[in-house]
Structure 1
Amino acid sequence: MLKLYVVVSLCVVAHAAQLQEVFRWKDLEFAWPSDRIKQEAIQSRNYISANNLPLGLARWRDKLFVTVPRWKAGVASSLNYISLNTTNRSPVVIPYPDLKANTLPKNGEKLEDNHIISTFRVHVDECDRLWVMDTGVDDILGEFNQYSKSALVVFDLNTNKLIRRYEFKATDQTENSFFANLIVDVQPSRCEDAFAYVPDLGGYGIVVYSWKNHESWRVKHNYFHFDPLKGDLTVGGVNFQWTDGVFGLALGRVRNNGYRTLYFHPLVSTNEFSVSTEVLRNQSLATSPSSFNLYKIEGNRGPATQASASSFDLVTEVVFLTQLQKDGIACWNVNKPLTPENFGVVAQDKEGLIFPNDLKIDADRNLWVLSDRMPVFLFHELNPNEYNYRIYRIRVDEAIWNTPCAN
C-alpha cells in the first residue's frame, strides 16, 4: 500500500511540473500615468497595495486580462491586462480600457458608460468582444458602496471601445444576489445571436441575456443551490464556511440542433450538473416549472473536490476544473461517466496552487490558471515577502496526458 502511494504521489508531482509559471507577484503593481498620480492615490488611500488581489483572467491575442475585484478599499483598477510580449515575470498590470474608466467617482461625479467599478471574471468571445460582469460595488467586505447597478459591459477588442452596457433588471436579482462569473454562447458566424449566462452564487439562479433581443430573464432550479454538507473548507491552512451556489459554467460543443450542453456546479458542492442551452435560451421554457426534469445530474467528483471555475476544450471534450481544497487542477472527459475514478488530476502544487481561483482555455488551446491564496487574503493577511499570486500556462493535450481524461 505504501509503495502504491509513493508511485501515485510521484506521478502527480511529475505531471504538475508541466505547468509553466508565466507570472508571479508578491504585491500587484499597476501602470500609472505618472508617479505623481500614483503618490496622490496612495496618500488619499485610493490605492492600498495590499488590498489588490488578482482573481479572474482571459486571453485575447497578446493581451492577458486580469481582474482585481474591490473586495476592500484601495483597489487602483478592477479591469486590467498584461502584455504577453513582456519578459518581466512580475509585470505591471495596465488598466483597461484606461485608468479613468476604472476610477471611482468623487462628489457625485457622473459615471461614463464604459466605467468598471468591480469585476470578478471576464469572457472573451469568438467575435473579438470582451464581456465584463460589473457588480458595481466597492469595498465589498467593508462599507459595501454600490456605485452602479450590476451590469454586463461589452468592449470591442479591436478598437477598445464600449459596444454595450446592459444593466440587470430588478427581476433578474434577489436581495442576496452576487454575480462573480459569466460565460458567452456564440458562434463566429452568428455574432448577433449571442447569449450570456451569468450565475448568481448568492441568489441561486442564472441570468440569461440575449444580445439580439437586448433582454434578460432569471432561471431558477434546485441544482443551483449549495450542498449544506460540503460548505466546510480548508485552504492554505485557513478553515472557513461558505454557502456559494451555482458558480462554474462550461459550454460543450455545438450539436446538430444548434445548441450546446451547459455543464455547471455550485462552488459548495462536489456534484456536476448539466442542461441544454435549448432550455435556457427559450425564456418561457426556462422560467417554467415544466423545465425541472430537463436538467441532469452528471455525477460526483469525489471527496473535497469543490471547484470554482471550469472550462471546456472543444477538441477533446474535456472539462477542466479548479480544485480549491487540493491545491490543484482536475479534469473530466464528458464522454465518460463522472465518477472519482474518471476524475483526473492535471496538476497539484501545495505552494503555487493555493486557491486556484480561475482558469480559461484560449483560442490556441492553452490552459491558463490563476492562483491567489484568497482565503488568506479574506480572513487573515498575506505575507508581502512571499509570492502570493501566480499565473500558469499549459497546453491542453499536455495537461490531460496520462490522466483518465485522455481519449
Structure 2
Amino acid sequence: MRAVSLVVALAVVTVCQAATPQLRFAWKEMDFTWDSPEARENAIKEKRYIPENNLPLGLAHWRNKMFVSVPRWKAGVASTLNYIDLDGPQDQPLKPYPSFKDNFVSDSATELPSNSSLISVFRVYVDACDRLWMVDTGLADILGNGNQVTGPSIVIFDLKTDQLIHRYSCKTGDLKEDSFFANIIVDVTKDTCDDAYAYIPDLGGYGVVVYSLKQDDSWRISHHYFHFEPLAGTYNVSGIEFQWTDGVFALSLSEPREDGYRTMFFHAFSSTKEFCVSTELLRNYNSIDKNEAFHDFKLLGDRGQNTQSAASSYDPKTQVLFYTQVNRDGVACWNTNKPYTIDNNALLFSDPVLYEFPNDLKVDDEGVLWVLVDKLPRFIYRTLDPNIINYSIYSINTTEAIQGTACQ
C-alpha cells in the first residue's frame, strides 16, 4: 500500500510541475492611488489607513481591469472595492472603485455617506452584461469593535459607465442571528440582462438567499446541506491550527441546459463534500412543495480528508469545476462529466510558500483561471512580515491547467 501511495504522490508532483501558474501580481502590503503624498500621510496619522490591516480577499476580471476587494477585517482599510490594470506593474497600488470618496469611509461611521458608498466587500462577480455585483456587508472593523454601519445589501455597478445601477437592502426575512454574506454569483445571459438572479450563500446562518433583479425581491432557502461538517472544522495552514464553522460558501453555475436552467454546485467551507441543485428550484422556491424539494438537493460525493475549499469556479469550455485547497496550499479540480470521487478530484498545483491560503479563484470568459493568495490565517491569528510577499495573484489557462490530469 505504501508503494502505491508513493507512486500516486510522485504523479501529483509531476502534474504540479507541468501546470505552473504565472505570477501576475504580488504585494508585501496593499497601498492605494492617493490624491497626493500628503493625503496618504494624513490618513496614516489619523489611523484611517493602517497599511498592515489591508488584506485582499476577492477578485474578478473584466477587460483590462482586475477587481480586488479588501474587506474591513480590521480598522484602517482605505478602500474596500478596487481594481488594478491587467497590463500594469506586479506591485501597482489599488485604484478605488468607483472612486476614493465612495470607499474612504470612517470605521466609526453611523450611516452610508451616499448610496454608492461601500463599507466592506468580500467577493465580487462580473456578469455577462458587463455589470459588477457584490454584497456590501455593511460591517466595519469586523475583528475589532464590529461597527454595523448599515445592513447588508446587494450592490450592482455598470462597468461601461462606472455608475451605480442599483442597491438592494436585504430583507429582515433574509437574515438570521449569525448571518454573514461574503459571496455572490449571478445567473444571467446576454439575452436576459433584465431577468438576472443572484445567489448569495449565508456562511454563518447556513442558508442561501436568492435575489431577482426583475422582481427586485429576495427570498431565503434553507437546507441541511448548507451546514458545516463537525469533523471538517479543523484547519492547519503553515503550522497555524484553527477551528472554523463556516457553512455554505462556494457556489458555481454550469452552463444553461436546454430548459434554460443551470446546475448550481455548492459546498460549505468547513466540509469536504460537494452538492448540487437545479436553479429551477432556487428561482421558484416560493411556489413549490418544500418537503418534496428537499430531495432535489443532491450529494455528489466527498473529496477526502483536508480538502476544505474557500471558493470554486466552473469553466464552461472544459466543463471542469476548479476550487481552492486551503489546507493543501493549492488548487484542485473535478471534471463534471465524471463521478465525484477522490481519484477524479485532482490537485493541480500545490506549494506551502507560493500558495499559502488560496482564498479566491475565478475562471474568466477567456478561459483563464485566476487565483488570489493572501495568507489569511497569519493575518487573523498572528502577524504578517511586511518585508516579504504576502499577497499574490496567479493565472493559468484552464486547458493547460488540467492537461494530463483526471480532470482532462
Question: 2:109·2:149 contact (CA, 8 Å) conserved in 1?
Answer: no
Which residue, out of 61, 64, 68, partners 1:62?
64
Tell me: CA distance 1:107–1:387, structure 2 relative to 1, closer, same or farther (3 Å). Answer: closer
Deviation of the 1:34 alpha carbon: 1.1
**Counterparts of residues 254-269 of structure 1 (less than 5 Å):** 254-269=256-271
Question: 1:135·1:150 contact (CA, 8 Å) conserved in 2?
Answer: yes
Residue identity opposite 1:319 in structure 2: L
RMSD: 1.4
| Runs of 5+ unmatched residues, structure 2 | none
Residue identity opposite 1:14 in structure 2: Q
Query: How far, CA to CA, are the matches of 2:74 and 2:259 in structure 1?
Result: 46
Farther-moved stretch of structure 1 (75-84 vs 279-288): 279-288
1:15 aligns with 2:21: no
Question: 1:280·1:286 contact (CA, 8 Å) conserved in 2?
Answer: no
After TM superposition, which residue ranges in structure 1, 4 or more long, deviate above 6 angstroms? none
Query: How far, CA to CA, are the matches of 1:253 and 1:9 in structure 2?
Result: 29
Partner of 1:292: 294
Partner of 1:325: 327
Describe the superposition over 1:217-248 as per-residue Cα deviations: whole angstroms up to 9, x where unpaired. 00000000000011011012110000000000
SS of residue matched to 1:75: coil
Which residue, out of 145, 168, 171, partners 1:169?
171
Question: 1:311·1:319 contact (CA, 8 Å) conserved in 2?
Answer: yes
Normalising by structure 1, we get a TM-score of 0.97
Query: How far, CA to CA, are the matches of 2:55 and 2:70 in structure 1?
Result: 6
Residue identity opposite 1:163 in structure 2: I
Number of aligned positions between the proteins = 404
SS of residue matched to 1:297: strand
Partner of 1:315: 317
Partner of 1:91: 92
Residue identity opposite 1:333 in structure 2: N
Normalising by structure 2, we get a TM-score of 0.96
Tell me: CA distance 1:47–1:300, structure 2 relative to 1, closer, same or farther (3 Å). Answer: same
**Counterparts of residues 5-404 of structure 1 (less than 5 Å):** 7-8=10-11, 10-16=13-19, 18-86=20-88, 88-105=89-106, 111-285=113-287, 288-404=290-406
Which residue, out of 4, 7, 26, partners 1:4?
7
Tell me: CA distance 1:286–1:145, structure 2 relative to 1, closer, same or farther (3 Å). Answer: farther
SS of residue matched to 1:8: helix
Deviation of the 1:283 alpha carbon: 3.3
Deviation of the 1:135 alpha carbon: 0.2
Describe the superposition over 1:351-397 as per-residue Cα deviations: whole angstroms up to 9, x where unpaired. 11010000001111110000000001000001111111010000010
Residue identity opposite 1:190 in structure 2: T
| Runs of 5+ unmatched residues, structure 1 | none
Identical counterparts, % of pairs: 50
Deviation of the 1:347 alpha carbon: 1.2
Query: How far, CA to CA, are the matches of 1:380 and 1:323 in structure 2?
Result: 21
Query: How far, CA to CA, are the matches of 1:50 and 1:115 in structure 2?
Result: 23
